[in-house]
Amino acid sequence: MRAVSIRTLGSPDGMEVVDVRTPIPGEGEVVIRTAAIGVGGVDAVIRRGTLGALGPALPRDGLVPGSEVAGTITAVGAGVEASWLDRRVWAFTGLSGGYAEHALARIENVTPLPAGLTPVDAVALGSAAPVAHFALRQARFAEGESVLIRGAAGSIGIAAVEIAARAGARAVAVTTSSAERGERLRAYGATHVLDRDGNSTRGPEPAGFDVIVDIVAGPAVPSFLTRLAPNGRLVLVGLVAGPPPADFGTALLSRFQRSLSVATFSLDTVPRADLARLRADQFEAAARGELSAVVHAVLPLEAAADAHRRMDAGEVFGRIVLTP
């Protein structure tokens, strides 16, 4: 089968289409013929080699990236009921293996697709929307609070904007790279648009935020800690710009009397059953039109490197999806 392999870490030029063996399911596993493949920020971080020990090592013969796919189950391993065969599903494949015509997944990481949801929309939401939901829960977000979504133009950010707005946030501010993107985010519930540095692009903004969901991280984290209201909570859910500076705790301690807190969040800490129930509910909501799947572009598998170039250039609003 065809797959996209990272041959060398760094730029997208290190990715190429290769022929590899079609996977065979082991115990508790299924093989999915992919109809849609999500291209996410974590894929770019792995490709650059900046995820460090958190990411998969690069084998000598390259690494197939990709963590989520949607398609049809074509083979099941021991311990998996045969009734899964031919079912349309979304699946988490781990931190690798998704950019391929067939992908391997454990059955506990598979969610059936409702009739009204396309595979393309499924991979736009399958990882992003649960991250947004549970990140807000990790931040102890409550109705009537103000929220800032940092890096809101990606699939996680858009979902967080929509979920916070529908849950009764008093204000939902976003950081993004352009006024045009800001206006698009208003359609999903954003009330205030800030530039990448956190400065308002139009009119006043909340004096302080109760919750910041930070998908970007990087060297600017300390400056965003200053934007928290007393008892404010910042949750890091991504490292698109790299880890925060080693001394970012200094900014936190300098505001000791404001009782601020910083946390990280990963879906790895959510019980599988809870995650499966939420994802199924979100898929049903999307099929009813109550949750938005925002797709920037649908590209062929051979264009994976181009998809990464677009991400690196900051051009993507929502998610790019690959199709075999």
Residue 278 falls inside a structural domain? no
Residue 43 falls inside a structural domain? yes
Q: What is 47-84 written as a DSSP string? A: HHT-SGGGSPP--TT-B---SEEEEEEEEE-TTS-GGG
Tell the burial category of 50 from Cβ atoms under 10 Å away from its Cβ (0-12, 13-18, 19+): middle
Tokens 């991280």 appear where?
217
- Residues 235 and 306 both lie in one domain: no
- Residues 23 and 106 both lie in one domain: yes
Q: In angstroms, rounded to a whole number, what is the distance separating the alpha carbons of residues 243 and 114?
A: 37
Q: Is the pLDDT of residue 75 over 80?
A: yes
DSSP state of 96: S
Instruction: Provide the number of structural domains found in the chain.
Output: 2
- Residues 188 and 94 both lie in one domain: no
Residue span of the structural domain in which 166 resides:
128-268
Residue 122 falls inside a structural domain? no
- At 287, which helix (H) or strand (E)? helix 272-287
pLDDT in tens, 158-172: 999 999 999 999 999
Q: In angstroms, rounded to a whole number, what is the distance separating the alpha carbons of residues 212 and 255?
A: 16
Which CATH number does the domain housing residue 300 bear? 3.90.180.10
Composition of the chain by helix, strand, coil, percent to 5: 30, 30, 40
Instruction: Identify the band that residue 55 occupies on the pLDDT scale cut at 50, 70 and 90.
Output: low
Residue 276 falls inside a structural domain? no
Which of 268, 283, 306 finishes a domain?
268
Q: In angstroms, rounded to a whole number, what is the distance separating the alpha carbons of residues 26 and 104?
A: 9
Residue 286 falls inside a structural domain? no
- Residues 75 and 177 both lie in one domain: no
Residue 120 falls inside a structural domain? no
- Residues 30 and 64 both lie in one domain: yes
Which CATH number does the domain housing residue 194 bear? 3.40.50.720
C-alpha closest to that of 43 among 270, 236, 322, 323: 322
- Residues 203 and 317 both lie in one domain: no
Can you give the pTM of this predicted structure?
Answer: 0.93
Instruction: Identify the band that residue 4 occupies on the pLDDT scale cut at 50, 70 and 90.
Output: very high
pLDDT of residue 132: 98
- Residues 132 and 257 both lie in one domain: yes
Residue 71 falls inside a structural domain? yes
pLDDT of residue 45: 87
- Residues 138 and 94 both lie in one domain: no
Mean pLDDT over the full length of the chain: 94
pLDDT of residue 52: 63
- Residues 245 and 301 both lie in one domain: no
CA angle (144, 150, 151) in 5-degree steps: 135
- Residues 104 and 152 both lie in one domain: no
What are 283's two structure tokens? 């898929």
- Residues 8 and 56 both lie in one domain: yes
Q: Is the pLDDT of residue 53 over 60?
A: no
Determine the average pLDDT of the residues in 192-207. 83
- Residues 140 and 105 both lie in one domain: no
pLDDT of residue 216: 94
Residue 280 falls inside a structural domain? no
